[in-house]
A and B are shown apart, each in its own frame.
Chain A
Amino acid sequence: MIELRNLSKRFVTADGPVEALKDVNLTVNDGDIYGIIGMSGAGKSTLVRCINMLERPTEGSVLLDGRDLGALSKKEMQGVRREVTMIFQSFNLLMQSTCLQNIMFPLKLIHTPKAQAEARARELLQTVGLPDKANAYPAQLSGGQQQRIAIARALATNPRVLLCDEATSALDPKTTQSILELIRQINRDTGITVIVITHQMSVVQEICNRVAILENGQVVEEGDVSQVFSQPKARATRALVFPEMNGAEGTVSSGYGQLLRLIFEGSVTIDKPLIASMAMECGIAANILGASTRTVGKREYGYMLIEIPGGPDELAKALKYISKAPNVVVQVEAQYSGEEASEA
């Protein structure tokens, strides 16, 4: 189990101190595939580097099974880094070494006998599906293949945690799929805990069971993937889940009334046309500003942004009517006030 407790990280730059992480609290359970998602600059990379102490947190602690990593000696920390390994966006293979030598690299660091290290490396080449690339050099491989070799290398020391730092960001969608599939398979087979840092919503949807949304160095939302994505509370989360919805308020709104955000859970949500029947039964003609659907962890979610004309009475009526429908979550996005919609 990995616990981040009140983690903060400040960098001193030429323009003054920058707070990369602010009071981050997270718990990652054994066997989780835990997603940490955020826009670039949100502090994701700093966060993942704090987990293996490549960056020392300014405040707070990182606990691995209750052991405070900040308190370990340099030597002990090197040991921990064989239990918590990492793969990278740019693969970071040794370009002058063969694939086999690359996979053997972490084993050579701990002076594993050569025959034993080589046997382990060949076994891992098998695991990642590249048994014929033992003597190839990284430059001869495609990006996806290079990442597979990097994964094999990260697994060489039988780690308990695998950190993936934007591991699929440099890959095309199809290759991304296959790499994610591989990570999921390894997670299933070995029970390894995986922490996935990404800015791609699709990656989290594909493999994570839990997720934390990072914005400006703070965790703005955290929980089960289906829970967080079906009822995104924080603005940052909504921006990630339904990126096309951003700014819809300002562009197509009539300029008066209240904005409601509807989230339909499940593919067969309702048996009647909700908005149309609300118009007929309540006499409220909602203005649909935007709508879309998403598949999150094998479940369908619909999403709609509507504008209710009129005052607070109409709003209350609409809220009451919509809330009666099954599997629909409704949130008041904003009381229109002539400004950008603000957090409810």
Chain B
Amino acid sequence: MNQFVKAFEPDKLQEAWHVFCTEFPLGLWETVYVTLLATLFAIILGLPLGILLVTGDEKGIRPLPKPLMKTVNVIINFLRSVPFIILMVMVIPLTRAIIGTSIGSVASIVPLVVAAFPFVARLVESSLRELDPNIIEMAQSMGSSTIQIVFRVMLPESVPSLVTNFTLAITTILGYTAMSGAMGGGGLGKIAINYGYSRYKYAVLYLAVIVLVIVVQVFQSVGTRLATRLDKRIKK
């Protein structure tokens, strides 16, 4: 306790401020680009998978063989249930194969994507399932093909919900980047752990947390505002 209070004495605060000015800009940049890139790749993988989960369902517009759907669901559930910190270790060979190393900000994108894409797939699934089945029936009654229903009806009609869910994905992935900081990743997470956990410089740790909170707030408000603006069901 004594040690904790000491960590906020004037000279410690000054030191923290120094770290803030010298290391935080790069850390923030790493956190943001790792988060955004990981989210982007997670969406690239998760969006089609989420569409498949809905359309290939027994009651979907293009039912796929049950064993196939079962397998896909089991894999997604498996990836979702492995704790991220364990998953990071498990995918090290994959990370090395893709990036060439398992250390650093860029390398941390790989485990982040592996952890996030099944999550995104589930989010997409829930967004698409919200859609009124009568709308799908309408599209079928007009002679739409499966592809046309997906791209001209399901996705455009779900845009506000998808944006809301992708915002949720971003903020969750941002949380994971801090964890990856402990395992060789970069960013604010690394700074917080290196200074705060390893060297008892709590002032730095708290500063890093405050910055992370602000980043989450920014992502969240931008996402929420975007979703509201895009939703044409809201009368203006």
Contact = CB atoms under 8 A, between A and B. Distances in A.
A109 B148 contact: yes
B36 interface: no
B138 A92 contact: yes
Nearest to A95: B233
Contacts of B157: 94-96
A321 interface: no
Given A95-B233, A139-B233, A139-B235, A86 B156 contact: no
A264 B233 CA distance: 52
Interface stretch (B108-116, B139-147, B198-206): B139-147
Contacts of A97: 156, 232
A193 to B, nearest CB: 16
Contact of B156 (A85, A96, A157): A96
A92 B135 contact: yes
Interface stretch (A23-31, A74-82, A281-289, A296-304): A74-82
A85 B232 contact: no
B49 to A, nearest CB: 23
B143 A82 contact: yes
B134 interface: yes
Interface string A150-176: 000100010000010000000000000
A163 B137 CA distance: 13
B32 interface: no
Interface in B139-185: 140-145, 148, 152-153, 156-157, 159-160
A175 to B, nearest CB: 19
Contact of B152 (A80, A108, A157): A108
B143 A79 contact: yes
Given A106-B143, A137-B232, A96 B137 contact: no
Given A97-B156, A109-B152, A54 B145 contact: no
Interface in B79-113: none
A96 B135 contact: no
B141 A52 contact: yes
Nearest to B135: A92
Given A92-B137, A94-B135, A96-B156, A81 B235 contact: no
B21 interface: no
16 contacts: A80-B143, A81-B143, A85-B141, A86-B142, A90-B132, A92-B135, A94-B157, A96-B156, A96-B159, A97-B156, A97-B232, A106-B142, A109-B144, A137-B233, A153-B142, A163-B141
Interface of B: 132, 134-135, 137-138, 140-145, 148, 152-153, 156-157, 159-160, 230-235
Interface of A: 52, 54, 77-82, 85-86, 88, 90, 92, 94-97, 105-106, 108-110, 137-140, 153, 157, 163
Given A92-B135, A92-B138, A138-B232, 19 more contacts: A77-B143, A79-B143, A81-B143, A85-B142, A90-B132, A92-B134, A95-B232, A96-B157, A96-B160, A96-B233, A97-B156, A106-B143, A109-B142, A109-B144, A109-B145, A110-B143, A140-B235, A153-B142, A157-B142
Closest 10 CB pairs of A and B: A81-B143, A92-B138, A78-B143, A137-B232, A86-B141, A106-B142, A139-B233, A92-B134, A95-B233, A96-B232
